[in-house]
Structure 1
């Protein structure tokens, strides 16, 4: 071969190698930076512990007397209270909800939560034009920029401030994909005429390819909270019609914690281009009160949770009611609590249904197997009998001698929720173990665990029997590569 040709090929290979190495270095740099970059100011909020005499537990439960839809019963409290809070508000309403739309494909008559919430907020603004009414939500509700939802349009037409959360400034929880997205796709934007089917529902507005590329980053403002001058409600449920029959839990309280919530929500609005300042409630910061209440978001949820579970030992109790359980730190803490002699009982969603679509049981099925094995059967697990919807609760309850510690709200026990990726919000509560609130939690968990008046939960073995071991391999790969939706 001609020496000149050989030299040219050698030069081209060197250039290609240099370009490839530069791309890899840039890619790795982008991945590392956006995985660990500084969070926007005010995110990962670790609120002050305040005292109050007023903490109320609210629950939504859908259950069956057997295993069929024919005997379904719906006990729904949470959004009735949300609507009442809006009606009673006299100074301001600030809400932050993840899923807020009416899109679904299932053949069921779900509660019209999105329309009712919109009606109540619009009516409040109409009756009190000067009152601040602010809604923060996630871009999933506008198809990541592909369209404007009817709910958002109605709120904005009524003069309500709607803040669609900016997700790009948050850390990347799927770094392998997000690195490629940030190099190649983020510059294209999302606007345009949609032509791809909407994953929310067949009749939902079409989405652009660019919006789909953004969706694949799997980032979210996953919070569910509403505050007025009279109180605050921190919730696991969404004002999304097809979520109306999910099992959920909320806690409502009052006092100075209201302003902690407003401060944390103000931070999301500020970095997302919304109002710079939110109103504040005039409350007495009294040290008195039966209960301690604390508003925590993102990583501080995990920090307090590990500390509280770490207190449980011989004779103590740890209860979990959880939609997703996969965070390794939490799993280790539960096993260690069981080894110290605490009774650890967990109710999990089977992760088999998502708005009419069949799911594979990940992550809860393999996690349940692991916990039972690692604890040498000390940890007891039951799966919720989710005939319709999901057991969407995110509730941890620790009884340590004379004290009880509760954490509940938006956060699943997953890496995406607890490692400063998603925006999450929980209310942490300290209560005497003999308090009315602790008694209510005891009654709630015992009702479900013992199937006191319906078939709420099933033995873990029944669900795990025949569970494909290959799914444990898939689960392991998902954890390793951080390619999950949970």
Structure 2
């Protein structure tokens, strides 16, 4: 944590023995029937069931709330709760620590049943104290600290619950308007003689179960770096740090071998700096594939345009920002950024979603010299996510572009970009194009000021 309250960590490149790409993909056929290919949640459950010594999870949305969304959802919150409880009962010596965001308590208005179940099973539950993070929305946070927090606004009230059922007080809404969060989605566990880490864009949240997402599971010394970043959050909460026992000098090679690859753990501003550095190196013959839920960060938008002008091939798949748990959204910020990118000549397409969200956040670069780079994790490319206001975690992977890890992510992008297999994964830019100056200026104000949810 930096002295100004803004977070950021850039771990060194580490060798990795196994690196697995996990994806969740959803589409609808011509009859409207939903189809899904999902691997992330099953991998998380497998890690939990294999653990004997330690599980540390840092999860942003971990609740059964569905908002205004309708339809069939998977009960992921309860399934993960039951897996953790069962593993603790099978192995009483297993230490389990769950770090999460206060959004799951409606910012102090309730203590949910699944939290009680976890605590009764001996799980250490840590609610991230967001007051120590820098102010994403300084105008509101200043008013809160100067006046509103003194009015005793905690507890239940008669306002509608912003995320689920029931009622909450003014305090829930007032705290929500700080627009800051522990947005991480990480998991650390042991498996036999090795440690595993998982960094994801997916939440174990019922109404998020059909979202598009990507996760990376890895072993080796980078797991200790991941634990170091979680110890920073534990320190904010006044909890003792957790030691990951010494790992072998070289990672254990099991499953998909990755001897030519290196990985590094990044958080917050460390993600921003690495992404900008990679984009600034791009030249003619290099290729960029970007799939993003929110794209708004001004230096990154400029860097993408500059890379395109230097001759790099840049293609971007974006969520159209029109659905959020049953509520209709107005397209901010992606449609406004896409207008800017399209005017610059960059190819943009939209994920075709029907209620679910294209929630992945990854960047793949294939260089003409044969090098490859993948950055993926929890961080949207926005000021709030990358400039140290939220807590975020990504993994950067480097190595030969021909490696199967880069090939698999590239194949996923091409499948969705080109609508392969007769499936309409994506739509042309014109379908959701918006070319309104006032709305573009609104996006720029929201991104600059922090008065936004992105």
**Shorter-chain TM-score category?**
over 0.9
* RMSD across aligned positions (CA): 1.6
Name the SS for the 2:338 alignment partner: helix
- One of 145, 170, 186 as aligned partner of 2:149: 186
Counterpart residue number, 1:315: 285
Name stretches of at least 5 consecutive residues in structure 1 with no aligned partner: 1-35
1:39 aligns with 2:5: yes
- How many angstroms apart in 1 are the aligned matches of 2:40 and 2:418? 24
Counterpart residue number, 1:76: 38
Counterpart residue number, 1:301: 271
Matches within 5 A, 1:6-155: 38-39=4-5, 43-66=7-30, 70-104=32-66, 105-155=68-118
Name the SS for the 1:94 alignment partner: strand
Name the SS for the 2:107 alignment partner: helix
1:481 aligns with 2:449: yes
Q: How far is 1:76 from its partner?
A: 1.0
Name the SS for the 2:273 alignment partner: helix
Counterpart residue number, 2:427: 458
Q: 1:174 to 1:413 in 2, by over 3 A?
A: same
Do the aligned partners of 1:54 and 1:291 also contact (CA within 8 Å) in 2?
Answer: no
Q: How far is 1:468 from its partner?
A: 4.5
Counterpart residue number, 2:183: 222
Counterpart residue number, 2:373: 405
Q: How far is 1:39 from its partner?
A: 2.3
CA distances 1:79-104 after superposition (whole Å, capped 9, x unpaired): 00000000011210000000000011
Do the aligned partners of 1:145 and 1:190 also contact (CA within 8 Å) in 2?
Answer: no
Counterpart residue number, 1:22: none
Name stretches of at least 5 consecutive residues in structure 2 with no aligned partner: 252-257
Do the aligned partners of 2:54 and 2:94 also contact (CA within 8 Å) in 1?
Answer: yes
Task: Say which structure is richer in strand.
Answer: 2
Do the aligned partners of 1:186 and 1:214 also contact (CA within 8 Å) in 2?
Answer: no
Name the SS for the 1:318 alignment partner: strand
Q: How far is 1:285 from its partner?
A: 3.0
- How many angstroms apart in 2 are the aligned matches of 1:120 and 1:187? 41
Matches within 5 A, 1:46-445: 46-66=10-30, 70-104=32-66, 105-188=68-151, 191-201=154-164, 203=165, 205-229=166-190, 230-273=195-238, 275-286=239-250, 289-373=259-343, 375=344, 377=345, 379-400=346-367, 401-445=369-413
Name the SS for the 1:297 alignment partner: strand
Q: 1:61 to 1:290 in 2, by over 3 A?
A: same
Do the aligned partners of 1:293 and 1:427 also contact (CA within 8 Å) in 2?
Answer: yes
Task: Say which structure is richer in helix.
Answer: 1
- How many angstroms apart in 2 are the aligned matches of 1:299 and 1:149? 32
Q: How far is 1:437 from its partner?
A: 0.8
- How many angstroms apart in 1 are the aligned matches of 2:439 and 2:106? 31
Name the SS for the 1:347 alignment partner: strand
Name the SS for the 1:168 alignment partner: helix
Q: 1:426 to 1:467 in 2, by over 3 A?
A: same
- How many angstroms apart in 2 are the aligned matches of 1:463 and 1:140? 31
Counterpart residue number, 2:255: none
- How many angstroms apart in 2 are the aligned matches of 1:402 and 1:283? 31
- How many angstroms apart in 2 are the aligned matches of 1:108 and 1:267? 39
Do the aligned partners of 2:364 and 2:410 also contact (CA within 8 Å) in 1?
Answer: no
CA distances 1:402-436 after superposition (whole Å, capped 9, x unpaired): 11111100000000000010000001111211111
- How many angstroms apart in 2 are the aligned matches of 1:281 and 1:427? 21
CA distances 1:112-165 after superposition (whole Å, capped 9, x unpaired): 110000000111111122211000000000011111011211111111000000
Name the SS for the 2:147 alignment partner: helix
- How many angstroms apart in 2 are the aligned matches of 1:323 and 1:460? 15
- How many angstroms apart in 2 are the aligned matches of 1:476 and 1:192? 35
TM-score w.r.t. length of structure 1: 0.88
- How many angstroms apart in 2 are the aligned matches of 1:190 and 1:436? 53
Q: How far is 1:286 from its partner?
A: 3.0
